Amino acid sequence: MRMPALPPTVDLNSRLAKPDGAEFLERASIVWESAVGDRYLPWDELRNRRPPEGLTAEEWWLALKVARSSMRRMLPLQDTQGRSFTYALPDIALRGIEMISKHTSGRIAAPAPVLPDAPTRDRYVISSLIEEAITSSQLEGAVTTRQVAKEMLRSGRRPRTVDELMILNNYRGMLRVREVSNEPLSPALICEFHSILTEGTLEDPARSGRAQLPGELRVVVSDGNGQIFHRPPPAEELPARLEALCDFANASSDTLYVPPVVRAVLTHFMLAYDHPFVDGNGRTARLLFYWSMLNQDYWLAEFLPISRLLRKAPAQYARSFLYSEQDDGDLTYFVLYQLKIIQRAINDLHEYLARKVAEDLRMRDSLRSMSGTFNHRQLALLEHALKNPAARYTVASHGRSHGIVPQTARTDLRGLEQRGLLTKTTMGRGHAWEPASELGRLLDHATRTSAR
């Protein structure tokens, strides 16, 4: 990835002092009127576009900078030079915030299969956590196929490579975020997340779960050719900076209102900017985003595998950091990019769930046509299992449901187990049967086979 072009140094007073200053002011006013709803282009993109009539690219940039300064909001977070970061909320950001809030924090607009009391919720939670664990790790270099990684996580087998261990660690980290989402963020909790993510994957295990120390060579962000994109603050500053980040994430350090989703996005940015760990900073930053969203009651966020979309365009993700750092600490570029990613993830979730609901309906219709393959009791159980993937069936419960003797109930359950549709488990001193992890796919295969 190439380094974006640095914005030119601009000064309004110097420009107005020129003989045509009044004319420039009149032309610039047209830019100011439209800036609130603009696309918030960085200089790297703006310089290649045709400026408004009568303005050079540099003058256009100056006019935009002046307009944007009126929208800027100060943050209690600082760059490496001690300057406060800022952000703005142009119309495009406000629309994004409204859409995300509507679809991730309430129940009315939420898809039925993932509502808190829906029996299918856990199935989709696990699928989403697995997807995020895989793609977040792949975003930082883990090399394995999604199919192999999913098989490892679903079956519970031990990871065979460091890349698989990275994915397993990321999955455990996502589970931990769910457990502590109601707790305040602290440097200790951030280090715990890092420890989970990097367990067994670092050359020096002692560096897992702790920030870099004074005297250690600081990790920089660079490409494979040695080009440095970002130099994080000195290790001596990390304790204070992590405290400031936690104060911000917990909304205890500022009096100005920050929209909750923006607070989550900026928490993500700051951990990545400070880069406190020897490795795993990106994964830790994304965990903090999920923690912040859940902590602020954006409950649908745990179904949104953000990293899958980031991985499709990693250079855009990286540039959103660089644009913000290059433009006087204006974090609007990063906020807008992340808002766009979250909105796409929400739309993808709705489309995915609509497909799954349609598939389940087709599957139930297909089951009713398989009376020659399964008896009516087995068909009823399978239809119930599709709706309730966490259900457990015993000889006694199946027998009571259909008024049959234990031997007949056991034969029904074992028949479904032999076809791979149920999994036998131990329950107390006896046994129970659970729906197979991919029951829908297995039944689809069964219906296709019976139709031949």
Q: 386-400 pLDDT, tens per residue?
A: 877 778 899 999 998
Q: Which has the minimum average pLDDT: 14-28, 47-61, 224-238, 414-428?
A: 14-28
Q: What CA–CA distances, in Å, run from 255 to 10, 75, 130, 258, 395?
A: 31, 10, 37, 9, 60
* Cβ-based neighbours of 22, under 8 Å, separated by 6 or more: none
Question: In DSSP terms, which residues pair with 433 in a beta bridge?
Answer: 393, 424
Predicted TM-score (pTM) of the model is 0.81
State yes or no: pLDDT of 361 exceeds 90: no
Q: Which value, in Å, is the radius of gyration of the alpha carbons in the chain?
A: 27
- Tell which wins on pLDDT, 433 or 368: 433
Of residues 313 and 125, the one with the higher pLDDT is: 313
Pair 307, 289: CB distance under 8 Å: no
The band of 224, judged by pLDDT with boundaries at 50, 70 and 90, is confident
Output the pLDDT for position 319: 93
358 versus 95: which is more confidently predicted?
Answer: 95
Q: Which CATH code is given to the segment(s) 77-353? A: 1.10.3290.10
Of 51-65, 82-96, 270-284, least confident by mean pLDDT is 51-65
- Ranges of each domain in the chain: 12-69, 77-353, 369-451
* 15 vs 88: CA distance, rounded Å: 24
Instruction: Tell which wins on pLDDT, 88 or 352.
Output: 88
369-451: CATH number: 1.10.10.10
Q: What is the mean pLDDT of the chain?
A: 86
b or e along 391-409 (b: 16 or more beta carbons within 10 Å of the residue's beta carbon)? bebbbebbbeebebeeebb
Q: Is the pLDDT of residue 59 over 60?
A: yes
Whole-number pLDDT of residue 221: 87
**Residue 108 pLDDT level (bands cut at 50, 70, 90):** very low
Q: Which residue did the predictor score with more confidence, 129 or 220?
A: 220
How confident is the model at residue 429, as a pLDDT? 81
pLDDT of residue 113: 66
Residue 407 vs residue 303, higher pLDDT: 407
> Could you give the CA distance from residue 375 to residue 353 in angstroms, rounded to a whole number?
30
DSSP at 258: -
pLDDT in tens, 183-214: 999 999 999 999 999 999 999 999 999 999 99
Mean pLDDT, residues 270-276: 96
Indicate the pLDDT class of residue 111, thresholds 50, 70 and 90.
low
pLDDT level of residue 233 (50, 70, 90 thresholds): very high
